[in-house]
Amino acid sequence: MMIPHRSTGLLAIIVFVALLLFIFSSSPVPEPVVEGGAGEADGQVKVFPRPQLPSLSDLHLPSFRKPAHEAPPEQSNSTRGESKWFSNWEWLNPFSSAITLDENRSVLPPLPNRRPIYTYYNPNYNPRKHSGKEQKEDRGADAELLLAWRRAWYAQGFRPVVLTPGDAMKNPQYEIVQKLKLGPELENEVFRWLAWGHMGSGLMADFECFPMARYDDGLLTMLRRGSEQEVIIRFENFQGGLYSGEKHRIDAAIDAAVKKLREDSASFIELIPPEFFKPEKPTALAYYKSSNINTHYPSLHEKISHNPSNGRRLLAQLINAHLHNTFQNSFPAGLAVLKPFPQHTTALVEPALRLAKSLTQCPESPDPSSCPPNVPDCRPCSSSKQPMVISQPSTYKKTNFLFTIGTLPHPYTLISLQKGSNEISTRQIRRETERDAWVSEVTKEDLGSEMGSSYRGMAFKQVVAGEQSIATSLWMTVESLPAEAGQSLPPELLDEFEWQLGFKIPRVGATDPKKANEKESMQSKNPSQQGVQHEYEIISKAREILNTAKGEGVNMKDVAEAWNMADTEVWRFVKAYRARSVVERQKWEEEEKNFAGSKV
């Protein structure tokens, strides 16, 4: 019997639909696509899944849909102002919203573990036998030194902690030690070790010992990573300036020394058997102990001998100058103030340029031509014929010899500057502007012109927060900066930058004697020779529109963000990254606020 023609067609349709259902409901394992580019580090690749056909469960059929993904839970200390973030190892995803399910919540790399570095300070220890008033002045000078010590080590990725006799009393060995009648100097040394033993693994430093090298210096990298399990690292000819060890070895060393401790012992450290230690060379450390001051800075030593408290304040000033000079020597190619689209962004980068000019100044110092104890052949700022060079490239240059200061605009702000007006339309945005123009421009030297903007955004995130470039650049958003020509950078922003750089930023002009009569504040100078008033007006208006909850301007903001998804992503990333660094430091300062050196 022959099948009717109409039935044959129906059967074919059924078979065709069945095949489609079979294909769409299959979920083959995607093969990886390996992509590399000029922005990748040597030997590294990025793996992306191949596109695949959707399954039935992905179609808009309620009976087949998978349960919606849930947003990750909110983490503690993960908001500041309008910035929100989620710390996660998937931070290099092109778009944070794919993970957080929130367009305004950025995914940042997990905070690096800051290895603790301890110092011991007993405010009642009075080796110079001063009167009560003089001792109070000494404590004030010590507070300045401790603040400089905390700032320098924090900038190098450590967590500075000031210990006191109260910490030593919590060590089990204290009951044995306190029965002995030790002299003040020996007791201070013993209590220092007991306090370290109570706290555990980490570094113990004199607060006159400073890191004086680049962030990526091999010794500092090793100290951040941690010590060998079975030894305590000490440094040759450092006389107790710094040690690094793990708790079980520190406790064993203290136990061995306490068993030999007598009231007439010359030194506690000499009672610890030599096999507990591994010597290293202190190449990246500057120790401003009395003998070094006498050798390298005789005029300062004389001032300290004549007036100890005032002399130690000058010592804090000298150390700050050496830290600043070390920064200048670390970047022989100078400072780069990133300036894409130079015909429209003079006002946009002017605050960054003002900051750069401050960083190139010679810091105030009691001995301007001197060098740190560990780098006697440095190039002092005051003796340099050529000051640190400031360039304004339109693209980011990937090199460790150049320090970059970058200012990111919101896409709406950049479009307004390019058009010369805040009155822009959807048509202008979509037809007259390139998508993701900012990130494309600043990465074109490193990534070429063919790479997609999503990949550029990931590469740029590595520039901002990657371990290899964390100390070679400083990033901020335009909307956090002054919107008037010649206006100083906010003091709180400069304070934050100081904790990233490790030294005080000059704020009152150059110290060159030839410019002694210069009254104008360094932070109030207008470094450009171009008229930027109109650009500042556009930036100010754009800021108002970005902060407005309703109205036509908000619609244009949304259109600009939708048209520039990668630019918006990196702008939010930098904004959140800067906000998180502030929250991290404030939380640490809150924990340490009751100890010496937390403020002056």
Q: Which of 587, 340, 359, 567 is nearest to 473 (CA)?
A: 359
Q: Which two tokens stand for residue 91?
A: 């931070």
Task: Evaluate whether 474 touches 324 at the Cβ level (below 8 Å).
Answer: no
pLDDT per residue as tens digits for the range 466-491: 987 889 999 999 988 877 777 778 88
* Residues near 20 by beta carbon (within 8 Å), at least 6 away in sequence: none
User: What does the DSSP 8-state code read for residue 320?
Assistant: H
Q: Are the beta carbons of 339 and 409 closer than 8 angstroms?
A: no
Q: Which residues contact 496 (CB under 8 A, 6 or more apart)?
A: 578, 581, 582, 585
Q: pLDDT > 70: what percent of the chain?
A: 81
Q: How far apart (Å, rounded) are the C-alpha atoms in residues 400 and 398? A: 7
C-beta contacts of 532-536 below 8 A and 24+ residues apart: 532/346, 532/347, 532/350, 532/485, 533/485, 534/420, 535/344, 535/345, 535/346, 535/347, 535/348, 535/417, 536/347, 536/483, 536/484, 536/485
DSSP per position, 351-397: HHHHHHHHHTSPPP-SSTT---TT-TT---GGG-SSPPPEE--SS--
Q: Cβ distance 232 to 253 under 8 Å?
A: yes
Q: Give the angle 29-33-35 at the CA atoms, nearest 5°.
A: 160
Q: Residue 333 and residue 391: Cα distance in Å, rounded?
A: 9
Amino acid at the residue 393:
P
DSSP code per residue over 75-108: PTT-EETTEEEEE-TTTTSS-THHHHS-TTEEEE
pLDDT the model gives residue 125: 75
If DSSP codes are grouped into helix, strand and coil, which group holds residue 240? coil
Separation CA 199–CA 250 (nearest Å): 10
Helix, strand or coil, per DSSP, at residue 328: helix
CA–CA gap between residue 295 and residue 301 (Å, rounded)? 9
Predicted confidence at residue 387, as pLDDT, reads: 81
pLDDT in the model for residue 129: 55
The pLDDT value given to residue 533? 86
Average pLDDT over the chain reads: 84
**What does each of the 600 residues of the chain score in pLDDT, given as a tens digit?**
444 555 666 666 776 767 666 665 544 444 444 444 434 444 444 444 433 333 333 333 333 334 446 889 999 989 998 899 999 999 999 999 999 999 999 999 999 999 999 999 998 876 665 556 677 788 889 999 999 999 999 999 999 999 999 999 999 999 999 999 999 999 999 999 999 999 989 999 999 999 999 999 999 999 999 877 889 999 988 888 999 999 999 999 999 999 999 998 999 999 999 999 999 999 999 999 998 999 999 999 999 999 999 999 999 999 999 999 999 999 999 999 999 999 999 999 999 999 999 999 999 999 999 999 999 999 998 877 778 999 999 999 989 999 999 999 999 999 999 999 999 999 999 999 999 999 999 999 988 888 899 999 999 999 999 987 889 999 999 988 877 777 778 888 899 999 999 999 998 754 444 443 444 455 555 555 455 788 999 999 999 888 876 555 568 999 999 999 999 999 999 999 999 999 999 999 988 877 665 665
Exposed / middle / buried, residue 397 (Cβ in 10 Å: 0-12, 13-18, 19+): middle
At 299, which amino acid appears? S
Distance CA 533, CA 346 (A): 10
- To the nearest 10 degrees (0 to 180), the angle between helices 411-419 and 552-563 is 100
Q: Choose the CATH number for 115-302 among 1.10.600, 3.30.300, 3.90.550, 3.30.70.
A: 3.90.550
Residue ranges of the domains in the chain? 115-302, 333-359+387-592
Contact 296, 370 (CB under 8 A): yes
The rounded distance, in Å, linking the Cα atoms of 62 and 232 is 64
- 411-419 helix and 565-592 helix, angle to the nearest 10 degrees: 130
